[in-house]
């Protein structure tokens, strides 16, 4: 789970926040690819465009998450992840 506030970001890896358990270093790397590589980049892009950084219209929420998942499963760490169900749960 990621939070972004004008120039500051927080990424949480707690089980109750992400819906699963991260076991190996690849699980952690891959979660950061999902959160930092995609979500935070989207927040920063919105900010550069003069929008609310966390702005998402309802119709864009699925696309927002789908983009992050596609980046995550396309990363080399995905093959080494032990726990893959948490992302889709």
Tell me if 57 sits within 8 A of 36, measured CB to CB: no
pTM recorded for the entire structure: 0.70
Give pLDDT, residue 84.
64
pLDDT in tens, the chain (89 residues): 666 666 677 776 666 556 567 778 888 888 888 888 888 888 888 788 887 766 666 557 777 888 888 998 999 999 988 766 655 44
């Amino acid at each position: 789970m990621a939070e972004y506030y004008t120039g500051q970001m927080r990424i949480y890896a707690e089980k109750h926040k992400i819906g699963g358990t991260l076991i190996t270093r690849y699980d952690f790397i891959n979660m950061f690819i999902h959160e930092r590589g995609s979500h935070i980049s989207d927040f920063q892009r919105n900010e550069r465009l003069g929008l609310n950084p966390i702005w998402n219209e309802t119709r864009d929420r699925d696309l927002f998450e789908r983009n992050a998942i596609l980046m995550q499963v396309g990363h080399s760490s995905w093959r080494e992840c032990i726990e893959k169900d948490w992302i889709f749960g």
